[in-house]
Amino acid sequence: MGDDSVVSFGTPEGHQDPLRELIRAGAYRLIEQAVTAELEELLASFSTCKAADGRAGVVRNGYHPQREILTGVGAVTAKIPKVRSRLGEPVVFRSALVCASLSFDGCGDCVAVLEACFER
């Protein structure tokens, strides 16, 4: 009884599953589009707020460092935009889709948002 009859089959090094990569690329685009729409909504809500010099009060200001988000098809890299306030009070963009931890594991809100996206 000392011998194991379980044999582990590894995948060849460098093997890429085209279908998985296609799905992962689609997940990346979906996340990017959803986060961009959320950002545009935030910026639109501040569109009437102007700084003392007449420029926009809240503007886009680059991206946070890229992070990996765990999805059902594996890790997907996400770029989360930043905003800057010229109004004297801080304004922070927080995506409803991407939790503060940037991980879907253990974050029921993120899973619910993703499920709602796929139901449409």
pLDDT in tens, 58-85: 999 999 888 888 887 788 888 889 999 9
Task: Summarize pLDDT for 13-37 with one digit per residue, the tens.
Answer: 556 688 888 998 999 999 999 999 9
| Residue 79 identity (one-letter amino acid) | K
| Residue 76: per-residue pLDDT | 87
Percent of the chain with pLDDT over 90: 28
pLDDT band at 9 (very low <50, low <70, confident <90, very high): low
| Residue 33: per-residue pLDDT | 94
Cα angle, residue 37 at apex, residues 28 and 112 outer, rounded to 5°: 65
pTM of the full structure? 0.66
